[in-house]
């Protein structure tokens, strides 16, 4: 696995590269836009050029992920929010295209009481629309599994499988967050439980569709449906599962990205753990 982290873009997106280099990252995750607004400022051409040049120099453009805005809900029940979500998501893909970032990850959406089947159908429709509007790009959409808080979809691996089937697109894959996986009820703590969960990932989603991981421990127990990240070894998952996961042959070239507390200082110990696990 290739180790990296979500790094700050404060001062311009190109500033993320030296921050990643300081942490000795092999992969990188960024926000391409302000997460708190529907109408962010456009990317500055100079920033785009500097990011593309510097990221390419250090091989980050092969293993870069953008995290889509948390405002986006591709199955929003309010027509105005749904329209804004679709527009924002298309903008996310276009920004990745400009920057040369190959992947954008997305929390699928919250059905807000409409029920899981209706929510998944709505997300599928939104994804098909976004892919059609961005067919000039090679950016891949990574559906991130969720912990299942509230009416969030994506907490069952079958949700991710069904959404991939709905889009029928090679541009759609999956990003697995270990905290979310554990909180949703997929145990990782014992050798038997770990193997069972890995088996389900392969049989339901398919290892070939997993393009990246978020490597986060969980503050809460398995099945809690609570999304609270912890530093590696300081949560309920523990270090043993991460030691096995990062050495799975199927994921030898897959980005494993930290979103743990206390960044960037908190990343240092977590990256030390991960590098020590590598065989």
Q: For 154-174, write each residue's pLDDT tens digit.
A: 999 999 999 999 999 999 999
Q: Distance (Å, rounded) from C-alpha 218 to C-alpha 232?
A: 8
pLDDT of 231 reads 98
Q: Please enumerate in sequence order all residues whose Cβ is within 8 A of that of 79, keeping only pairs 6 or more positions apart, or say none.
A: none
**What stretch of H or E contains 177?**
strand 172-177
Query: Which residue among 47, 116, 234, 259 is the active-site one?
Result: 259
Percent of the chain scored above 90 by pLDDT?
99
**What stretch of H or E contains 211?**
strand 210-214
Query: Which residue among 95, 107, 111, 140 is the active-site one?
Result: 107
Query: Which residue among 52, 180, 211, 273 is the active-site one?
Result: 180
Average pLDDT, the chain: 97
Q: Please enumerate in sequence order all residues whose Cβ is within 8 A of that of 252, keeping only pairs 6 or more positions apart, or say none.
A: 1
Catalytic annotation on 144?
yes
If one counts every other C-beta atom within 10 angstroms of the C-beta of residue 242, the result is 24
Q: Distance (Å, rounded) from C-alpha 76 to C-alpha 71?
A: 10
pLDDT of 15 reads 97
Catalytic annotation on 209?
no
Query: Which residue among 6, 14, 67, 211 is the active-site one?
Result: 67
pLDDT in tens, 62-106: 999 999 999 999 999 999 999 999 999 999 999 999 999 999 999
Residue 108 belongs to a domain with what CATH number? Answer: 3.20.20.150
Catalytic annotation on 267?
no
Query: Which residue among 54, 91, 177, 236 is the active-site one?
Result: 177
Q: How many domains does the chain have?
A: 1
Read off the pLDDT band of 23 (50, 70, 90).
very high
pLDDT at 125 over 90: yes
pLDDT of 50 reads 97
Catalytic annotation on 78?
no
Catalytic annotation on 57?
no
Domain of 180 in residue numbering reads as 2-73+81-277
CA atoms within 13 A on the CB side of 210: 27
pLDDT at 279 over 90: no
Query: Which residue among 26, 217, 227, 270 is the active-site one?
Result: 227
Query: Which residue among 144, 162, 217, 236 is the active-site one?
Result: 144
pLDDT in tens, 199-242: 999 999 999 999 999 999 999 999 999 999 999 999 999 999 99
Catalytic annotation on 36?
yes
Catalytic annotation on 70?
yes
């Amino acid at each position: 696995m290739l180790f990296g982290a979500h790094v700050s873009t404060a001062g311009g997106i190109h500033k993320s590269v030296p921050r990643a280099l300081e942490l000795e990252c092999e992969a990188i995750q960024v926000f391409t836009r302000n997460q708190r607004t529907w109408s962010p400022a456009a990317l500055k051409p100079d920033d785009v050029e500097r990011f593309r040049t510097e990221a390419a120099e250090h091989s980050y453009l092969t293993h870069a992920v953008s995290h889509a805005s948390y405002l986006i809900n591709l199955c929003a029940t309010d027509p105005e929010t749904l329209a804004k979500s679709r527009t924002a998501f298309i903008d996310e893909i276009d920004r990745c295209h400009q920057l040369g970032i190959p992947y954008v990850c997305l929390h699928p959406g919250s059905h807000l009481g409409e029920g899981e089947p209706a929510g998944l159908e709505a997300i599928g429709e939104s994804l098909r629309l976004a892919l059609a509007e961005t067919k000039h790009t090679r950016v891949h959409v990574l559906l991130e599994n969720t912990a299942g808080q509230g009416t969030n979809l994506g907490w069952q691996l079958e949700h991710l499988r069904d959404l991939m089937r709905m889009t029928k697109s090679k541009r759609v894959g999956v990003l697995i967050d270990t905290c979310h996986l554990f909180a949703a009820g997929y145990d990782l703590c014992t050798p038997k439980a770990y193997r069972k969960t890995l088996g389900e990932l392969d049989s339901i989603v398919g290892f070939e569709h997993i393009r990246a991981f978020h490597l986060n421990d969980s503050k809460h127990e398995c099945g809690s449906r609570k999304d609270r990240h912890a530093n590696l070894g300081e949560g309920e998952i523990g270090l043993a599962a991460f030691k096995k996961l990062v050495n799975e042959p199927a994921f030898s070239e897959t980005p494993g990205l930290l979103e743990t507390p206390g960044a960037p200082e908190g990343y240092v110990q977590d990256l030390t753990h991960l590098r020590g696990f590598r065989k």
